[in-house]
């Protein structure tokens, strides 16, 4: 908002008297041109979004100035503190007869709109992260949206939305309507509301519409491609939580093994197993960098280390078979010939201790007991046992597998988000990128690989509009030793807008000061010589 009539006297430029200054000028009519543009940020000037099956309850709109927050893009570790000026619009709507109340935040840059709309996903048991993603998105010029889906979680209200108590109306009664908001409805609503509000505010529709999300947000991205294929031009669906009805309860397998044997490994013993596995498999991709790029060729098991020595907080110990059982449960997953409802495990360079082997230990780390895995445990309590008081650490093995079975039966059609037929998305010209950290410590990458294989089976040329990249050494959404593809969104925009196909995904310097070009699946990185920190020292094959 640069005044055309005059420039601000210096004294006012950084003064809190600015508002008073304006209110003096407005009656004089001096600021008419710039103020007219500012005043568009008012409910009176915003057209009510039109949405089949929804009734708009309220629209609030106010300019927000100098809003400052720490923010990142989904699947990026290059966040920071951003200060933004935007039109802050909150649309509240309900689905008549459902008694829900959904809040969609639409944040529109006051200056420097890049002509694009970006909807942002959530994670955990939420559909949106609010300012955590919105601030960065607005700072980079996007008209941006996030939704709370009518849930008490998300939109910045909690950092880690693991609360699933909203999924029950009372013991044994699932709130199917709210669950459907979480699964799909709210995400599409947010997109349509956001696009319409953007058009109404700028008097011009966005040139391009994008979706970006990681984890639960990655699942929302795939959902849009599968079920609402015409809404977005480009979708960045990172580490997608597809098949969550399977992998979430199956992730409790290692806890089950701990509880059955009443053996709870020490944190540094868990880390020692990881180190030992990395030491054994690190070189298989040609370079020793703490990263296992090709997990399928890493055949070592936790049992192979039994009796070998490791050092735990300066104390020399040997790996025990009871600990090996627990570690191997996290690595191999609950899949076995007899257990139809099992799932893959985590790769061996991932931080298995956090979600899959939750322990609480004495301050000196001498003894541990079972800890709480908030994300995994909540699913079992609320959606399988449907009882908030259920003790998910006192199950029989049969109960665990019955639970995995019933979870699959009850929720796969609503939440699985694994339809491999993307023909309508292709037809509407959509482009999509998925990457998944191979050291993901929450969502086993194998589920994403299996889904992409299905997509290719359905359409062997799916590569032309949907590309999947493995990110070796990267944890859940970011983190880990591996270089992170922070520029994935830019590469997606290049693909959508200029038809520049992302041949590789550029991953920037990770903890080891390394850069890599991530390979399009099914290719994997292979060292060809040179400085291993240099991307050009690797090729895809």
Ligand X SMILES: *[C@@H]1O[C@H](CO)[C@@H](O)[C@H](O)[C@H]1NC(C)=O
Interface ranges with ligand X (CB under 6 A): 13-14, 18, 60, 62, 64-67, 88, 90, 114-115, 207, 267-268, 271, 288-290, 296, 313, 333, 344-345, 347, 363-365, 391, 394, 421, 423-424, 446, 458, 481, 512, 531-532, 534, 536
Q: Is 42 exposed, middle or buried (0-12, 13-18, 19+ CB in 10 A)?
A: middle
Nearer to ligand X, 271 or 494 (CB): 271
Nearer to ligand X, 122 or 333 (CB): 333
Cβ partners under 8 Å of residue 366, min gap 6 = 266
Q: Which of these is catalytic: 144, 215, 293, 323?
A: 215
Q: Which residues on adjacent β-strands are paired with residue 461?
A: none
Euclidean distance between CA atoms 81 and 227, whole angstroms: 35
Query: Closest approach of Cβ 513 to ligand X, in Å?
Result: 7
Determine if residue 333 is left, alpha or beta; phi over 0 gives left, psi from -120 to 50 gives alpha, anything else beta: left
Euclidean distance between CA atoms 290 and 480, whole angstroms: 10
Known active-site residue 136? no
Length of the chain as a residue count: 541
Known active-site residue 215? yes
Nearer to ligand X, 179 or 480 (CB): 480
Q: Which of these is catalytic: 100, 184, 476, 537?
A: 476
Nearer to ligand X, 149 or 179 (CB): 149
Query: Closest approach of Cβ 269 to ligand X, in Å?
Result: 9
Q: What is the 3-state secondary structure (H, E, C) of 69-131?
A: EEECCCCCCCCEEEEEEEEEEEEEEECCCCCCCEEEEEEEECCCCCCEEEEECCCCCCCCCCH
Q: Are 226 and 425 in contact (CB under 8 A)?
A: yes
Residue whose C-alpha is closest to residue 410's, from 440, 434, 386? 386
Euclidean distance between CA atoms 115 and 113, whole angstroms: 5
Query: Closest approach of Cβ 190 to ligand X, in Å?
Result: 16
Nearer to ligand X, 59 or 375 (CB): 59
Query: Closest approach of Cβ 289 to ligand X, in Å?
Result: 4
**Please, what is the angle between helix 253-261 and helix 321-332, to 10°?**
160
SS3 state of residue 24? helix
Query: Closest approach of Cβ 447 to ligand X, in Å?
Result: 9
Q: Which of these is catalytic: 189, 289, 440, 517?
A: 440
> Closest-CB residue for ligand X?
115
Residue whose C-alpha is closest to residue 470's, from 295, 301, 271, 313? 295
Nearer to ligand X, 189 or 440 (CB): 440
Euclidean distance between CA atoms 101 and 156, whole angstroms: 17
Helices (H), 144-215: 176-180, 186-202
Query: Closest approach of Cβ 24 to ligand X, in Å?
Result: 15
Known active-site residue 476? yes
Query: Closest approach of Cβ 176 to ligand X, in Å?
Result: 26
Q: Which residues on adjacent β-strands are paired with residue 315?
A: 312
Positions marked active-site:
215, 440, 476
């Amino acid at each position: 908002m640069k005044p055309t009539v005059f420039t601000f006297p210096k004294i006012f430029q950084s003064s809190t008297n600015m508002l008073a200054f304006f209110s003096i000028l407005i009656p004089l009519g001096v600021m008419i041109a710039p103020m007219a543009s500012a005043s568009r940020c008012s409910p009176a000037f915003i057209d009510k979004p039109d949405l089949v099956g929804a009734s708009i309850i309220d629209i609030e709109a106010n300019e927000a100035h100098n809003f400052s927050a720490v923010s990142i893009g989904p699947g990026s570790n290059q966040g920071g503190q951003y200060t933004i000026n935007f039109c802050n619009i909150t649309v509240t709507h309900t689905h008549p007869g459902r008694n829900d109340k959904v809040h969609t935040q639409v944040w529109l840059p006051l200056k420097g709109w890049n002509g694009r709309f970006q909807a942002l996903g959530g994670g955990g048991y939420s559909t949106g992260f609010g300012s955590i993603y919105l601030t960065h998105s607005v700072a980079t010029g996007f008209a941006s949206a996030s939704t709370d889906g009518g849930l008490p979680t998300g939109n910045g209200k909690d950092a880690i939305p693991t609360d699933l108590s909203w999924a029950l109306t009372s013991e044994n009664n699932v709130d199917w309507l709210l669950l459907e908001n979480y699964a799909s409805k709210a995400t599409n609503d947010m997109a349509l509301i956001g696009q319409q509000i953007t058009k109404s505010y700028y008097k011009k529709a966005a040139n391009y519409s994008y979706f970006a999300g990681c984890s639960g947000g990655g699942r929302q991205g795939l959902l849009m491609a599968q079920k609402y294929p015409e809404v977005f031009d480009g979708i960045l669906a990172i580490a997608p939580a597809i098949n969550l009805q399977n992998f979430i309860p199956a992730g409790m397998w290692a806890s089950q093994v701990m509880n059955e044997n009443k053996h709870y490994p020490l944190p540094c013993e868990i880390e020692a197993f990881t180190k030992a596995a990395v030491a054994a498999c690190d070189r298989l991709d040609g370079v020793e960098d703490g990263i296992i790029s090709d997990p399928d060729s890493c055949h070592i098991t936790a049992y192979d280390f039994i009796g070998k020595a490791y050092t735990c907080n300066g104390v020399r110990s040997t790996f025990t078979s009871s600990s090996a059982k627990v570690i191997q449960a996290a690595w191999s997953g609950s899949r076995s010939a007899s257990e139809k409802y099992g799932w893959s495990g985590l790769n061996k360079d991932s931080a298995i201790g956090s979600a899959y082997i939750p322990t609480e230990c004495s301050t000196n780390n001498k003894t541990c007991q079972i800890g709480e895995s908030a994300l995994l445990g909540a699913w079992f309590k609320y959606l399988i046992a449907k009882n908030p008081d259920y003790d998910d650490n006192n199950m029989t093995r049969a109960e665990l597998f019955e639970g995995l079975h019933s979870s699959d039966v009850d929720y796969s059609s609503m939440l699985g988000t694994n339809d491999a037929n993307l023909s309508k998305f292709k037809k509407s010209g959509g482009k999509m990128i998925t990457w998944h950290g191979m050291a993901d410590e929450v969502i086993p990458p194998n589920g994403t690989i299996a889904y992409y294989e299905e997509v290719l089976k359905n359409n062997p040329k799916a590569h032309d509009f949907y590309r999947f990249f493995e990110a070796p050494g990267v944890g859940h959404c970011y983190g880990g030793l591996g270089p992170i593809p922070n520029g994935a969104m830019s590469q997606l925009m290049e693909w959508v807008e200029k038809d520049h196909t992302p041949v590789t995904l550029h991953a920037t310097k990770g903890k080891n000061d390394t850069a890599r070009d991530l390979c399009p699946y099914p290719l994997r990185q292979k060292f060809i010589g040179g400085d291993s920190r240099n991307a050009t020292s690797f090729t895809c094959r």
